Amino acid sequence: MKQLIRESEQGTLITERNQKLGDYLDYWLKMRRDSLAIKTTTYVSYSSYMHRNVIPVLGNISLQQLTGTHIQKLYTLLRSNGTSPNTIHLIHTILSAALRDAVKWHRIALNPCKHLTAPRTKRTEMKYITRQ
């Protein structure tokens, strides 16, 4: 009981136990959409990235068990499957925001994405159409 009180006072008390990452991401996306924090088109895009890339690989891991190592292995797997660094960087941004909210909502104590570095985005040179 003393430990629960101490965690509550420190803001590290976990209020949701045994929730899978996939379930949490679905919940998070719906919360962001319903609160009008993101537009419908953004919701569709984010949902697509999470359901195509993250949930099939990490969706069955408990939110509290998720580590930076799991996420880094996901990035390595995506890169080896030919996913572009820009896409991986976007996935990192979305996942990091979702886990930041999980910390804020007291579902996890620390954000495992916080100290990870996503692949650098590649800038492509713009090609312009010119008159001949």
Please give the DSSP secondary-structure letter assigned to residue 51. Answer: I
Is 64 contained in some domain? yes
The pTM for the full model equals 0.77
User: Is 109 a domain residue?
Assistant: no
**Range list of H helices, the chain:** 2-10, 21-34, 40-49, 55-58, 68-80, 85-104
For residue 65, the domain's CATH number is 1.10.150.130
Boundaries of domain holding 74: 13-104
99 in a structural domain: yes
For the residues 15-43, what does the mean pLDDT come to?
A: 86
5 lies in some domain = no
Give the integer Cα–Cα distance in Å for 50 and 46.
6
In a domain, 1, yes or no: no
pLDDT tens across 79-128, in order?
999 999 999 999 999 999 999 999 998 888 899 998 888 777 666 676 77
Give the model's pLDDT for residue 128. 74
Give yes or no for a contact between 75 and 119, defined as CB atoms under 8 angstroms apart. yes
In a domain, 83, yes or no: yes
Q: Is residue 100 part of a domain?
A: yes
Provide the number of structural domains found in the chain: 1
| CB of 116 closer than 8 Å to CB of 74 | no
Is the C-alpha dihedral spanning 40, 25, 22, 51 positive or negative? Answer: positive
- pLDDT tens digits for range 38-72: 888 999 999 999 999 999 999 999 998 999 999 99
| Beta carbons of 119 and 79 less than 8 angstroms apart | yes
50 within some domain: yes
Is the pLDDT assigned to residue 1 strictly greater than 70? no
What is the per-residue pLDDT for 12? 46
Residue reference for tokens 């001949």: 132
pLDDT of residue 120: 73
Angle between helices 21-34 and 40-49 (to 10 degrees): 170
User: Can you give 1-20 as a three-state secondary structure string?
Assistant: CHHHHHHHHHCCCCCCCCCE
